[in-house]
Every structure is written in C-alpha cells, then in structure tokens.
Amino acid sequence: MQDEKHPEDCKQVFALLSEYLDQDLAPESCEELRKHLEHCAPCIEFLDSLKRSVRLCHDCGLSETPPPLTPAEKAELLAAYRRWQKRS
Amino acid sequence: MLSETRLAIPDRAEEVELARALLEGDAGAFDRFVDVFRSKIFQYSYLMCGHREDAEEVAQDTLMKVFENFDQLREPERVRPWVFRIAKNACLMKRRKSVFAPVQELSIDDFLPHSRDDGAARKLEIADWSALPDDQVLRAEVKAVVRRAIGELPEIYRAVILLRDIEELTTEEAAQVLDVSQEVIKTRLHRARLAVREKLDEYLKSVQARVN
C-alpha cells in the first residue's frame, strides 16, 4: 500500500499477503505481518478483498462441465485399463 | 469392491481410494474414477487451452495415458498431481499459440492500489468488497468476470492459479506438476491472485457506479 507513514512496511506486507492467507509464512514473518495489520486499515481492507477474490475464484472455477462420455470413448478407456491389467 | 454410493463432490480421500482400488485390479472403481478426473481435467484444460473441443480431447488423451501407464503411479496418495502432470503435457501438445511466444511476466508493483488522504485517514481507491452482489444475474456476471480474468492471465500464471486455487493442489504438488520450484509457485500464485482481484475490483466499481 502506498502508506505515507509506513510505505516500505506496507509494500513488504503487500508482497506477502498470499503466503499469509495460505498460512505459508515463517512464524516470525507471520507475527510481523499480524502486528502491521493491527494498525494499518488500508492493508486490512486490501487483504479482505484478496481473500474474497480467492474464494470467488475457487467457487467460480469449477462451473464448466464436459459433455457426457460417449460409449466409444468409454470403451477406449476401459480397453486401455484392461490392457494395463493384463500386463501387470 | 467399492461402495455404490457416489459422492457429488470428490475429495482427496475418495480419489486415493479409487486409485488404490484400480491399482489392485478392482474395475468397479473405473466409472467413478473416470467421472471424477475427466471433469477435473476438462476444467483445467478448458481454461488452459481456451477451446472446448481441445479440452474434450485433452481429457480423453490424458485418461488414456493414465490407464496405459497406471503402474507409474507408485503412491495412490499422489494421484491428483500425477494426473495433472499428464494433463499439463497434453495441454502443451494442443497449444494453438506459437510455442515461441515470449513469456509474459506480471510485476507486483502494477497491482499496488492507489490511495488518497481524506483528512482523517488514508483511504484505498478500491471497490466496496463487502457489497458483493447477491442478485442471481450479477452473480452470473461475477462468475464470468472471474473466468475471463483467469483466461486472460499469461499462461505461466494461469496454470498456477488453476492448480492451487481451483484444484487445491499444495504448493509442493503444483511445483512438481509444473517443473518449477515452490518459491516460483508462490510468487506466480500471488501475482495471479492480484491480477484476478484487480479485474474483480474494476467490475465491482462499475456495478457500484451503476447503482449510485
């Protein structure tokens, strides 16, 4: 965030937000970030928007369904599995 | 034999159980395994290739390779990343764009939000995310915005966000599928998320401008 008081802090936090959301940060970095968030409303607001966006991405991404498997396609796959069974 | 009960949403445990059953020669798991993974591969490859017909072919080609090489799946626990690695390669074969197209990098600085000082406090110039639309039409619009935003990401970022945020692979598994380090996955995922967030932010601002 382009914070006049803490420009570098906000930029560093900005770079780590995904790892923070994924609980992938080292404990010390996580603690520092949490402390920053305690007093930085813009960073909290941005984090919230990122969290909502990630959730939407997850919910929306699984909406396309393939057409039904044709009998010919199924037969081809089953034959491949049977061949593997015979070999093993 | 596996139970006939079919879960609507597959989870890891079910996938692993299906893979293990097939490895043990239990063909009763075949239909469900195909259902689960065909759908997943189709989702991924549709967003990676951008063409429905290509995605259908990738799904079939991938499953053929899965069954032809089933003995290469040494650990059923890793069935999801193993299948996606095969799907990723199948997508590369279908890529219609030039393989010589330069890799497009996203810069994190491009996504730093602007802010303004309104006297008492600094305010970000972003949309009001607490008011995401409930309306069915708008929800469909949001879905379309998200899918377009993902589809417009440069390929290296699109692959990561699909594997991590949609298919829920771990950082380690995504790194294995895409042949890059875990640090690269983390960097690309963050930039991809920022890019999608920004597109959604633009959309929400436009909706809020319409309402006000």
CA distance A55 to B201: 14
Nearest CA in chain A to B132: A52
Q: How many domains does chain B have?
A: 2
Find the radius of gyration of the CA atoms of chain A: 24
Q: Are residues B166 and B84 in the same domain?
A: no
Residues B139-187 pLDDT 10s:
888 889 999 999 999 999 999 999 999 999 999 999 999 999 999 999 9
Q: How many CA atoms lie within 13 A of B17 on its CB side?
A: 14
Residues B121 and B149 in one domain: yes
Decide if B6 is inside a domain: no
Whether pLDDT at B79 is above 70: yes
Q: Do B38 and A14 touch (CB under 8 A)?
A: no
B143 shares a domain with B49: no
**Which CATH number fits the domain that encloses residue B202?**
1.10.10.10
Kindly report the CATH number assigned to the domain that includes residue B76.
Answer: 1.10.1740
Token reading at B88: 């990723």
ipTM of the complex: 0.89
Which domain covers residue B29, as residue numbers? 12-94
Do the domain assignments include residue B67? yes
Contact state of B113 with A65 under an 8 Å Cβ cutoff: no
Last residue of a domain, one of B29, B60, B94: B94
Q: Tell me whether residue B2 is in a domain.
A: no
Instruction: Give the pLDDT score at A7.
Output: 66
Q: Give the domain-ending residue among B64, B94, B124.
A: B94
Provide the pLDDT confidence category of residue B115 given band limits of 50, 70 and 90.
confident
Residue B29 belongs to some domain of the structure = yes
Q: How far off is chain B from A1, nearest CA to CA, in Å? A: 6
What residues of chain B lie within 8 A of the CB of A11, using their CB?
A: 112
Residue B85 lies in a domain: yes
B122 shares its domain with B203: yes
Q: Taking Cα atoms as reference points, which of B31, B69, B17 lies closest to residue A83?
A: B69
Q: Note the pLDDT of residue B7.
A: 36
The verdict on B112 and B197 lying in the same domain is yes
Instruction: Kindly state whether residues B129 and B204 are assigned to the same domain.
Output: yes
Helix or strand holding residue A6 (H, E): none
Subunit contact B60:A77, Cβ cutoff 8 A? yes
Boundary residue ending a domain (B50, B69, B94): B94
Domain match, B149 and B185 both: yes
What are φ and ψ of residue B99, in 5° steps?
-70, -15
| Residue B103: inside a domain | no
Let me know whether B116 and B206 are in one domain.
Answer: yes
Q: What does the pLDDT look like over A49-72, one tens digit per residue?
A: 999 999 999 887 667 889 999 999
Q: Which residues of A touch B166 (CB under 8 A)?
A: 57-58, 61-62
- Is residue B207 a part of any domain in this protein? yes
Q: Answer yes or no: do B117 and B207 share one domain.
A: yes
